[in-house]
Amino acid sequence: MWGSKKKKSVSILFMSLVLVLSACNSGGNSATPAADAPKTNESVKETGKFVSKTSNSEASIQGGILNYGLASDTPFEGILNPTFYEGNPDANVMQFFYPSLFAIDKNFDITDGGAANIKLSNDNKTVTVTINDKLNWTDGNPVTAEDYAFAFEVIGNKDYEGVRYDALMMNIVGMEDYHAGKAKTISGIKILNDKEVQIDFITATPSVKSGLWSYPLEKKVFGDMKIADMSASDAVRKDPIGYGPFKIKSMVTGESVEFEANKDYFLGAPKLDGVHLKVVNPNVLIESLKKGDVDYVDGFPVSLYDEKTNPTNIQFLGRQELAYNYLGFKLGKYDKAKGESVMDPNAKMANKSLRQAMGYAMNNAQVGAQLYKGLRTPATSLIIPAFANYYDSSLAGYTYNPEKAKQLLDAAGYVDKDGDGMREDPKGQPLVINYAAMSGDTVSEPLAKFYMQNWKDVGLNVQLMNGRLQEFNSFYDNVKADNPDIDIFSAAWGTGSDIDPSGLYGRQAPFNYSRFTSEDADKFLKEGTSPEAFDIEFRKNAYKQWQQLMFDEAPVIPTLYRYELQAVNKRVKNLDISYDAGYDTLAKVELSADKPVTQ
């Protein structure tokens, strides 16, 4: 995807997403890592090997159609509205017609130049959002202040079942009374005129600069619907509208979308006549690129990258990805009535030493170097190196150390009592750890088996849930529902552009899939978004303590940082994937030939 997105839970510029949720599939090939893999750096660095902008300098044609490949072995779900979606494949579709309102700078803070600008008050407790006068929905109606305010009303409503109701939302004056049904309106949100909204916050927080909700919801379309019915409505599933440079002309849900140029786009009509998007199985992706079936894949599986066999008609662009892979441990459940995670002291993975041992048993350096050609490297912290002001480079992380893993297990009472090579639990009972892992492409199964072998090497019996990998949607359905058959799970987060991790790991965050809670974690996360956190040193210290706590407690263990590759046909021009490339990057893309270059 172009530009930066907000994380899927908290405030998503696509969380993001992210989920931007950024919830990402693993990519790769079928090779099994060898035993003598070289060590890699602790974080992914910009190597200079890949540029971030296409180098095509040939003359442009007028218009043309860009063929976009969504690399996935499963259909996209088709929840095509930022207020309701959760899966990253849907975010890939929405980027063309439903972008964030806001532009961002190199520090991932909101800056002027987008479809809306913001202005903070002197005390940083009030933000005024001004929407561009020319911004219209693709149905012809103007995008209004009322539409922007309406998004907050939907997300904050008690009947809303999505995941966007986060700490920053709760910090809005009057939001909690509205959410509890004690008030009919949100007192802290005021519509000043057709294009301006004022939002008052209880406490000033620097997260407003990067985490402010950035998507309106058209009230003329959704205003008469019951909130519980919105996500399944035709306006989300069949005929979604937006305000981006393109609009949907036709769609086969889960398979393909035909976009046409939005000639009323507020920054002027895009250079392309349209975009044709289709889902492409990673197993045939290379051949599709060679044949010119697709011009552009922005989530190219790095494990497919091979300098000896790469398509010659393709240019690879690269950047450090705002994402990381992780291993999660199920430690409780999400209590919907309380709206928070509740830990279970009797959970199978409740023993901290067991979790730490599993982290030390994983040979992530080998995985990154050999399965991912060095384009993924061992992760050491839940804050990624791209957030240079806050990433704790001194944190050692769970580097591969099977002997230490064995020592931890021995000391915690996980020993082999019957001589079968597998450890029993401290009570002497058989220990079988159920592991949920996603399908995705050819690396998914060998990668899961490799980790299972790592754990077996230290005496832990880990078995795939139901004996197989889970497809993307089923995987997250099970993880979100706290399926009791899951003890551990491998997944990934798109961090988005907001450093605040509370939307993924806070006590009240639905995305806190491990269900870990701690008063110290509450304290550090709260400090990181407090008024004092406008002082960067104060904020840095709060997040340094949080990173150390999460390392010590190990409810989630980061496994791999990621370098993102994007494969682009050599007829494509003016594509810049830098995070600060500018708001209207999509609208500037051009082609230099009517047909793709083929090999």
pLDDT-derived band at 372 (thresholds 50, 70, 90) equals confident
pLDDT band, very low/low/confident/very high, at 495 (cuts 50, 70, 90): confident
Residues 188 and 313 in one domain: no
* The pLDDT value given to residue 36: 29
Do both 542 and 428 map to the same domain?
Answer: yes
Residue where a domain stops, chosen among 197, 229, 261: 229
Find the range with the poorest average confidence among 40-54, 160-174, 400-414, 531-545.
40-54
Tally of CB atoms within 10 A around 437: 24
Question: 210 and 332 share a domain?
Answer: no
Q: How confident is the model at residue 76 (pLDDT cuts 50, 70, 90)?
A: very high
CATH number of the domain to which 480 belongs: 3.10.105.10
Tokens matching residue 273? 């006549």
Cβ atoms < 10 Å from Cβ of 120: 16
Evaluate whether residue 411 is within a structural domain. yes
Which pLDDT does position 559 carry in this prediction? Answer: 98
pTM assigned to the model? 0.76
Strand partners of residue 342: 333
Mean pLDDT of the chain, nearest integer: 90
Assigned domain for 18 exists = no
CATH number at residue 284: 3.40.190.10
Residue 15 has pLDDT above 70, yes or no: no
Give pLDDT, residue 412.
98
Beta pairing partners, 424: 430
In a domain, 17, yes or no: no
Same domain, 366 and 261: no
Domain count across the chain = 3
How many angstroms separate the CA atoms of 590 and 239, rounded?
27
Quick one: what percent of the chain has pLDDT higher than 90?
Answer: 81
Read off the pLDDT of each residue in 52-56 and give the average, rounded to a whole number: 96
79 with 159, same domain?
no
DSSP annotation string for 243-302: -SSEEEEEEETTTEEEEEE-TT-TT---SSSEEEEEEE-GGGHHHHHHHTS-SEEEEE-G
* Lowest mean per-residue pLDDT among 17-31, 74-88, 466-480: 17-31
- Domain range spanning residue 398? 323-562
- CA geometry: angle 576, 582, 286, nearest 5 deg: 25
User: With 90 as the cut, is the pLDDT of residue 269 above it?
Assistant: yes
311 and 330 co-located in one domain: no
CATH number of the domain enclosing 144: 3.90.76.10
Checking if the pLDDT of 44 tops 60, the result is: no
174 and 218, same domain (yes or no): yes
Lowest mean pLDDT among 196-205, 316-325, 436-445: 436-445
- The answer to whether residues 145 and 225 belong to one domain is yes
Q: For residue 328, how many other CB atoms are within 10 A of its CB?
A: 24
Q: What are the start-end ranges of the H helices in 383-460? A: 402-411, 444-457
With bands split at pLDDT 50, 70 and 90, how would you rate the model's confidence at 27?
very low
Task: Give pLDDT, residue 584.
Answer: 86
pLDDT of 310: 94
Tell me, yes or no, whether 506 lies in a domain: yes
Average pLDDT for residues 468-484, to the nearest whole number? 95
Asked if residue 117 is part of any domain, the answer here is: yes
pLDDT of residue 373: 83
Domain boundary at 201, 229, 257, which? 229
pLDDT of 516 over the 60 cut: yes
pLDDT of 167 > 70? The answer is yes
Alpha carbon 368 to chain centroid, angstroms:
20
